[in-house]
Chains A and B, each alone.
Chain A
Amino acid sequence: MVSPLYIIAAGLGGAFLLGLIPDKWRNTAYGITLLALAAMAWIAGEWLYAFAMQGTASVDVFTAGTQPPFAINFRIGLAEATLVLLTTMVGLHAALHMKDTLFKQGRRAMAVLLIFIMALCGIIFTRDLFNLFVFMELTVIATAGLVLLSADSRALGAGLKYLIVSQVMSMLLLIGIIFLYHATGSLNIDDMAAAQVNLLQGGAMAFFLVFIAILAELKPFPANGWGLDIYESAHPAFAAIFSTATGGAILYAADKLLQIGGDAWLPAASTVGIVTFIAANILALVQNNDRRLLGYSSVAQIGLLLTVVGQRDLLGNAYYYIAGGLLLAHAVSKAGLFWLSGLVAKRELADWAVLRSKPVMLFAFATLLALLIGLPPFPGFYAKWDLAHHLAADGRLWLLGLILFGTLVEAAYLFRWFGYVIKREAPGEQGLCWQSGKADVVFSAVIVAWLLAYLWGYLSGHGNLLHAIPLLFALAFLPLDWLPARIKNVLAIGGLLTWFYLNYPDYDPLKMIFAVVMLPGGALLLLASFQTGKRRIGFYPSAMLMFAGLALLINAQTTFDFFAAWEFLTVGSYFLILRGKHSEPHALSYLVFSLGGAFLIMAGFALAAQGTPDLPLAALSQVAAEYAPWVFAMLAIGFLTKTAAVGLHIWLPGAHAEAETDVSPMVSGILLKAGLFGLFMLLITMGKQQLYGVELTYVMLWIGALSALIGNLMAIFQEDAKRLLAYSSIGQMGYAVFGLALMNQLGWIMALMFVINHYIYKSMLFLSVGGVAKRTGTRLMYRMGGLITLMPLSFVAVLVGIIAMSGVPPLSGYGGRWVFYNAIMSSEYRLPMVILFLAGPIAFLYLFRLIHTIFLGQMKDELRKVKEAPFWIVLPQMIFVTALIGFALLPGLALRKVDAYISQFFAGDGGLHWAGLTITSPFGYWSPVQIMIVIAVIFVTLFLWLLFVNRKAQKVKQFNIVFAAERPYRPETSHFAWNFFAPYRKALGFMAVPLFERFWGAVTELLHSTADISRRVYTGNGQTYAIHLLGFVIIVYVLWMGGMKP
C-alpha cells in the first residue's frame, strides 16, 4: 500500500506545482487541484479498506530514517484513515462546489486549499506534539486565506478576528509544548503519555496549556464568537470544510492529547463539551441567518463530540462506534447543508422555501436534517442509543439528561426551519441560484448519508433498520412520487393489508386489537384519500412512514426495535401534520413534545437495561427494584405525551385540527393509540410501582380523570368544529388512561373498548366534519347551520358518532360505559371516579353543540347551494356507521378473546362472563341486542307521536324574524351558535383557562429571551473575543486545576 506520507506529499506537491504554472492556465490548475485531492482521498480510502475489511493493524510511519523521538512519526489506523478520507473527500467536494470562485481567484487560492487539506491530514496523522503545532499553524494561515474567497465583504473582519484569537492560542500552545518537553524529555505523544505528566513537576500545568489551546480551537462556549463570524461570512463550501474537516481533525488532536493527560482530564473535556452543546443550541434558537444557525449547530455538535471524547473511559470498545457515528453524521449533514446554502440566494431561514420548487432538494434537506438530529435510520440514532445505554448503566444520568435536552432544543430549531421551508412563501425564481454542479455535490452528501445509515445499521448489534420491510416500503414511495395519487393510494392500501395478512397469525389477542385498528383501520381511512387527485407529492412517503412505525411498534420485541418504531411514527406523523394549510406552528409543537417524550422513553429503556445491549421488552418485568419506579415514570410520561394527557396536551388541538381532512382521522383515530399501546406494554410488564411511597398507577388514575375533565371542558367552548373534536380526543384518551390505571381486568377491557370506539367514531366525525368544512369553506360552527337537508349522509354519520361517543344506549359507547361502571365498582378510588363521572355530562354538551350548530337550526344564506361531501369521504363514514352498529351488537366478537387473554394478568380478579349475546359481570348483565330493540321501539314511538302533534304547526320562512331594534356590529355574534354555552362559560370558564398553554409558552419564551440576551456576548469586536478566550482559559484553570490538586 502507498505510504500515508504520500497524502502529505500529494497536497504539498500539488501546491508547489500550482506555484510553477502560468497564471492563465486555470483549467490545468483546477485539474491539478482535483487530481491531488482525489489522489489523497484514494490513498486514504485504500488504507480504510485495509483496516476495515482486512483487519490490518495500525501502522507507524517513520521519517528522516530515525525512530521517534528523534524524528517525527505518523500513525495510521482505522480512525485516522476514516478521518483523512472524510477530510480529503470534503475538500474534493468543496473544490467542486466552488469551482467558479476558484477559477476567478486562480491558482493561488487552489494552492491554499491544498495546503489546508494537507495540514488537516497532518494533524490527524502526526504523533509529534510540535509537528501538531506546525500543522495547526498551517491551518490557521490557510483558513485566514480561504475565508477571503467569500463574496461577502464582512468576511475580512471575521478573518482578522480569527487571526487575533489564534495568536493567543498559539502562544498558549507553544509555551505548553516547551514545558511539556521540559517535563517529559520528548515531543512524541506516546512517550509523553507513558511519562504520566500529571505526576511530574509542572507537568499538569504544561499539559493544561496545550490542552486548553486545542480546546479553544474547538470553539467552546463562550470563546467562539470568531468561529460563528467565519461560518456566517465565509464561502459555504469553505464553511463546510471548516465545520467538518477542521472540527474532526482538531477533535482527534484533542483525543490524542488526552492520552497524554490521562483519564483525570476526561471530565474537563466532557464539561466544556456539554456546556458548549447546550449553550450553542439555546443560542441558535433566535438565529435567523441560515449560515450562522448552521455555525451554532456546528459548534454544538463539536461540543457533543467533545463530551463523548470525555466519556471514553466508560465507553470502552463502543467509543469509536459512538464517536464515529456522531462525527460522521455531523460532518456529512453539516457539509451538505452548507453546500445546499450555496444554492439559496438569500440568507434568511424562510428564504429556503425556494427549495420547494425542486422536490429532490427538499428530500436532500430532509435527509440532512434527519442525519444531523440523529433520527433513525441514520448513524446518530444508533450512536445516541448506545451512548444513552452506557451513560445510564454507569449512573451518569445528569449528563444523559443534558445531552437529550440539548438534542431536543436542536431538533426544535431545525424542524422549525423545515416548517418554514415547507410552509413559508417562496421568494420566487431569483431566490434559487441553481447550478447543477453544486447540486450534485449536495446530492453526493445525501447518498453518503444513506450509505452511512446502512453501514451503522450493519455495524450495530441491534439489526439493521434499513432491512425493515415496512420502512423500505415507505421509502419506496419517494421514487414513486411522480405517480398519480390514486395509484399510490391503491399501493398503500395494498401494502397495509398485505403486511397485516402476513403478520396476523403472530399477534396475541391484545396486539390483534391494536393491529386491526392501525393496519386495516389505516387502509380504511386511506379510502378517503382517493378524494385527492393529482400527485399529492410527499403525502404517501410521510403517511407510510407513520404506518411503518406503527406496524414495527406492534412487532417490536426489544426496547431498541420499539424505540426505533416510535421515532418512525413520530417523524412520519410530523410530516403528515405539517401538510395542513396553517399547521406550521402546531406541527412543530407536536414534534417537540413527541421527541421530548421519546427521549424520556429512551432514557427509561437505557436505565432499565443497565448495560444489556439488547433488552427484550418482556425483561422490563425484571428491572431491579432500585430503578424500576424511575423507569416506569419515564416511560409512562413518554407514552402519556403521545396520548396528550393533561399538562402535555397542548400540541394536540392545533395539530389535529389543522391537519388535512383525511389526515386528522389518521393522527387522531390511529396515532393516539400508539401511546395506549405503549402504556399497555408498560403495565403488563412492570405492573404497579411505588416511588417514594406514591403509587404511580394512582397518579396515572388522576391524570386520566383530569384529562377527561379538562379535555371535555375545553371542547365545549370551541367555535371550530375540528378543534372541538381534537379537545374531545384529550378527554377520550383520559378515559382510556383511567381504565388502564385501574389495574383490574374490567378497567383494561374498558381501555380496549375506547381503543376501538375512539378509532371508529373519532375517525368518522373528523371525516364528516372535514367533509362539511370542505364544502362550506369554514370550520367555524357559527358559520354553519341547517345543513341536515343538504348533507344528509354526513348528518347521519355525526348523529351515530355522537350517540356512540356520549355513551347513551344503544351504541357501542354505552358498552364502554357499562364496562367502565363495572370496573370502578370494584375499585376503591372514589375522588378521581367522581371527576370522571362529572366529565360525562360535559361531553354531552359539546356533542350536542356539534350536531345542533352544524346540521340543525337556521341555514346560512351563502350555504344554500352546498352539496353533500365527496363520495370518497362519505364512503368510509358509512362503513364506520356499520362497524359501530356491528360492534354495538356483537362486542364479544372483538373482546371475548382479549378478555380471556387479559385474565392471565389478573388471576381471579373477576372478568366478564360471555354467554351467547349476553355479557355478565359481578354487578349485572348487558345484552346489546335487547337494548337495541328497546331503544328502537322507544324512538319509533316518540317519533310517530312527534309527527302527530306537529301536524298543525305553522311553517315560517327563515328570515321571518327581526332583530328587536338592536343593530349587531358583528352579525355572526348574534347567531345562537356563537358562544353557544355562554352561561357555562361564566360558571366554569375558570377551569378552561389555558394554564398549560401559558406554562409551556412561558418556558419557550424564557429559552428564547435567554438566548437573545446571552448571544450579545458576541459583540463582534475581535478584542472582546480575545478576552473571552482568556476568560475561558482562566475559568477552566480555576475550576479544573483547583480541583486537581492532590
Chain B
Amino acid sequence: MDWIAMATGFILILMGLYGALTNRNILRMIVSFTVANTGVNLVLVAVGYMHGRTAPILDQAVPVADAARRIIDPVPQALVLTAIVIGLGITAMMLTYAYKLYEEKGTLDISKFRDLKW
C-alpha cells in the first residue's frame, strides 16, 4: 500500500513540475504547483507509514505502555499538516500576485513579465 502512495506522490510531483514549467498561464502554473505540493505531502505520509500499525491515538485500544510498538510515527503526519498550511499560504500569495499582475498588464502570460532581466 505504502509504495503505491509513494509512487503516486512522485508521479504527482513530476506532473506538477512538468505543468508548471510548460504552461505559460500563471493560473495554470499555480494549479500545477498545487498538484506537485499534494504529491509532496503524499510522499511525506508514505514515508511515515509503517506496516500493521495503528493510528497514533492513545486510548483504551492502545495503552501508553504499548504505544511505541503499535502506533505509527506521528511526526510525519504533523509535518504534513504544517506543510499543507504553509502550502496554502504560498498558494494564496501566488494567487494575489496573479490578480495584481493581471490588473497591471491585462495578461496572465508569464513570458510577458520580462521587464527585469540581464
In the complex, A164 has a CB within 8 A of chain B? yes
Contacts of A174 in B (CB 8 A): 40, 44, 79, 83
> Contact between A130 and B111 (Cβ–Cβ < 8 Å)?
no
In the complex, B59 has a CB within 8 A of chain A? no
Residues of chain B from 67 to 94 with CB closer than 8 A to chain A in the complex: 75-76, 79, 82-83, 86, 89-90, 93-94
> Contact between B29 and A1020 (Cβ–Cβ < 8 Å)?
no
In the complex, B53 has a CB within 8 A of chain A? no
Distance of A417 Cα from B117 Cα, bound (Å)? 21
> Contact between B43 and A153 (Cβ–Cβ < 8 Å)?
no
Indicate whether A130 sits within 8 Å of B40 (C-beta atoms), given known contacts A233-B116, A1015-B118, A1020-B114.
no
> Contact between B33 and A167 (Cβ–Cβ < 8 Å)?
yes
**How many Å from the CB of B30 to the closest CB on chain A?**
9
> Contact between B117 and A171 (Cβ–Cβ < 8 Å)?
no
Q: How many residues of chain A get a CB closer than 8 Å to chain B's CBs?
A: 47
Contacts of A170 in B (CB 8 A): 86, 90
Indicate whether A178 sits within 8 Å of B43 (C-beta atoms), given known contacts A160-B97, A232-B116, A1022-B113.
yes
From A1015, which residue of chain B is reached at the shortest CB distance? B118
The winner among A163, A182, A1019 for most chain B CB atoms within 10 A is A163
> Contact between B90 and A167 (Cβ–Cβ < 8 Å)?
yes
Question: Which secondary structure dominates where chain A touches chain B?
Answer: helix
Indicate whether A153 sits within 8 Å of B97 (C-beta atoms), given known contacts A178-B43, A1015-B118.
no
Distance of A179 Cα from B93 Cα, bound (Å)? 28
Distance of A274 Cα from B114 Cα, bound (Å)? 28
From B111, which residue of chain A is reached at the shortest CB distance? A1021
Distance of A233 Cα from B90 Cα, bound (Å)? 21
> Contact between A156 and B100 (Cβ–Cβ < 8 Å)?
yes
Partner of B79, one of A163, A178, A1015, A1027: A178
In the complex, A181 has a CB within 8 A of chain B? yes
In the complex, A397 has a CB within 8 A of chain B? no
Distance of A232 Cα from B116 Cα, bound (Å)? 8
> Contact between A1026 and B21 (Cβ–Cβ < 8 Å)?
yes
Distance of A182 Cα from B2 Cα, bound (Å)? 14
Partner of A1020, one of B86, B98, B116: B116
Indicate whether A187 sits within 8 Å of B94 (C-beta atoms), given known contacts A141-B89, A153-B104.
no
> Contact between A156 and B104 (Cβ–Cβ < 8 Å)?
yes
Contacts of A164 in B (CB 8 A): 20, 29, 33, 94
In the complex, A38 has a CB within 8 A of chain B? no
In the complex, A154 has a CB within 8 A of chain B? yes
Question: What are the interface flags for A147-174 relative to B under an 8 Å C-beta threshold, 1 for contact and 0 otherwise?
Answer: 0100001101111110110111011001
In the complex, A1023 has a CB within 8 A of chain B? yes
**How many Å from the CB of B24 to the closest CB on chain A?**
7
In the complex, A988 has a CB within 8 A of chain B? no
Contacts of B24 in A (CB 8 A): 1023
Contacts of A163 in B (CB 8 A): 90, 93-94, 97
Partner of B116, one of A144, A157, A175: A157
Contacts of A1023 in B (CB 8 A): 20-21, 24, 29, 110-111
Question: What are the interface flags for A542-574 relative to B under an 8 Å C-beta threshold, 1 for contact and 0 otherwise?
Answer: 000000000000000000000000000000000
Contacts of A178 in B (CB 8 A): 43-44, 47-48, 76, 79
> Contact between A181 and B76 (Cβ–Cβ < 8 Å)?
yes
> Contact between A141 and B90 (Cβ–Cβ < 8 Å)?
yes
Residues of chain A from 203 to 248 with CB closer than 8 A to chain B in the complex: 225, 228-229, 232-233
> Contact between A181 and B75 (Cβ–Cβ < 8 Å)?
yes
> Contact between A134 and B86 (Cβ–Cβ < 8 Å)?
yes
Distance of A1027 Cα from B18 Cα, bound (Å)? 10
Distance of A1020 Cα from B116 Cα, bound (Å)? 6
In the complex, A955 has a CB within 8 A of chain B? no
Contacts of A175 in B (CB 8 A): 13, 40, 43-44
Contacts of A161 in B (CB 8 A): 113
Partner of A154, one of B43, B76, B86, B115: B115
> Contact between B94 and A1027 (Cβ–Cβ < 8 Å)?
no
From A70, which residue of chain B is reached at the shortest CB distance? B75
> Contact between B100 and A1016 (Cβ–Cβ < 8 Å)?
no
In the complex, B62 has a CB within 8 A of chain A? no
Contacts of A647 in B (CB 8 A): none
**How many Å from the CB of A845 to the closest CB on chain B?**
51
**How many Å from the CB of A1038 to the closest CB on chain B?**
18
In the complex, B17 has a CB within 8 A of chain A? yes
In the complex, B101 has a CB within 8 A of chain A? yes
Contacts of A233 in B (CB 8 A): 116
> Contact between B86 and A137 (Cβ–Cβ < 8 Å)?
yes
The winner among A140, A157, A161, A168 for most chain B CB atoms within 10 A is A157
In the complex, A1037 has a CB within 8 A of chain B? no
**How many Å from the CB of B102 to the closest CB on chain A?**
10
In the complex, A1018 has a CB within 8 A of chain B? yes
The winner among A174, A225, A1015, A1019 for most chain B CB atoms within 10 A is A174
Indicate whether A171 sits within 8 Å of B36 (C-beta atoms), given known contacts A178-B44, A181-B75, A1015-B118.
yes
Contacts of B94 in A (CB 8 A): 160, 163-164, 167
In the complex, A145 has a CB within 8 A of chain B? yes
Question: What are the interface flags for B1-43 relative to A under an 8 Å C-beta threshold, 1 for contact and 0 otherwise?
Answer: 0000000000001000100110010100100010011001001
Contacts of A153 in B (CB 8 A): 104
> Contact between B82 and A134 (Cβ–Cβ < 8 Å)?
yes
> Contact between A1027 and B97 (Cβ–Cβ < 8 Å)?
no
Indicate whether A159 sits within 8 Å of B90 (C-beta atoms), given known contacts A167-B33, A1018-B117.
no
The winner among A156, A178, A1022 for most chain B CB atoms within 10 A is A178
> Contact between B21 and A171 (Cβ–Cβ < 8 Å)?
no
> Contact between A154 and B40 (Cβ–Cβ < 8 Å)?
no
**How many Å from the CB of A463 to the closest CB on chain B?**
45
Residues of chain A from 124 to 149 with CB closer than 8 A to chain B in the complex: 130, 134, 137, 140-141, 144-145, 148
Question: What are the interface flags for A98-122 relative to B under an 8 Å C-beta threshold, 1 for contact and 0 otherwise?
Answer: 0000000000000000000000000
Indicate whether A137 sits within 8 Å of B89 (C-beta atoms), given known contacts A182-B47, A1015-B118.
yes
Contacts of B110 in A (CB 8 A): 160, 1021-1023
From B13, which residue of chain A is reached at the shortest CB distance? A171
**How many Å from the CB of A848 to the closest CB on chain B?**
54
From A179, which residue of chain B is reached at the shortest CB distance? B47
Contacts of B33 in A (CB 8 A): 164, 167
> Contact between B97 and A156 (Cβ–Cβ < 8 Å)?
yes
Distance of A1020 Cα from B118 Cα, bound (Å)? 7
**How many Å from the CB of A235 to the closest CB on chain B?**
15
> Contact between B82 and A1020 (Cβ–Cβ < 8 Å)?
no
What are 15 sample pairs from A and B whose C-beta atoms fall under 8 A apart?
A134-B86, A154-B115, A159-B97, A160-B26, A161-B113, A163-B93, A167-B37, A175-B43, A178-B43, A179-B47, A1015-B118, A1019-B114, A1019-B117, A1022-B113, A1026-B20
The residues of B with any CB-CB pair to A shorter than 8 Å are: 13, 17, 20-21, 24, 26, 29, 33, 36-37, 40, 43-44, 47-48, 75-76, 79, 82-83, 86, 89-90, 93-94, 97-98, 100-101, 104, 110-111, 113-118
The residues of A with any CB-CB pair to B shorter than 8 Å are: 130, 134, 137, 140-141, 144-145, 148, 153-154, 156-161, 163-164, 166-168, 170-171, 174-175, 177-179, 181-182, 187, 225, 228-229, 232-233, 1015-1016, 1018-1023, 1026-1027, 1030
Closest 7 pairs (CB-CB, A-B): A1020-B117, A1020-B114, A157-B113, A229-B116, A137-B86, A154-B115, A1015-B118
- For the complex with contacts A141-B90, A166-B90, 7 further pairs of A-B residues with Cβ separation under 8 Å are A153-B104, A154-B115, A158-B116, A175-B43, A177-B79, A1016-B118, A1023-B21
